[in-house]
Amino acid sequence: MNVLRVCLLIFGLSIFANAEELKTAAQYSFPKYYKNKDGKTAGICVDIIHAIENVDPTIKVNGYQEFLPFKRLQFYLINGKLDVFFWVKKE
């Protein structure tokens, strides 16, 4: 049986301690990220982002409306252009 596991990849856990805005991006991959009928980005990872923002209103995650290839996401994370990337791994 396949199990959905929700994973959060954070480079520098201390980022949450003082951050007001975290930069991220999305990888087009249903059901993680996709465009809904209104053209807005939706998906499991967007739900996770909103839940985090609801728990701590001082944290704002921006940029998930932009879809990037996974290799570029990795490069941007390593080089500091992105602070965090949310994803779901199916096992």
Residue 82 neighbours by CB under 8 Å, 6+ apart: 23, 24, 25, 63, 73, 76
The domains found in the chain, sorted by start residue, are 4-11+21-90 (3.40.190.10)
The token pair that represents 36 in the structure block: 């809904």
One-letter identity of residue 19: A
Among all chains, which residue has been given the structure tokens 């980022």?
15
The token pair that represents 14 in the structure block: 């201390």
Chain segment 26-54, per-residue pLDDT in tens: 998 899 999 999 999 999 999 989 988 88
More confident residue, 4 or 76: 76
Instruction: Please indicate, yes or no, whether the overall pTM of this predicted structure exceeds 0.85.
Output: no
pLDDT for 19 equals 58
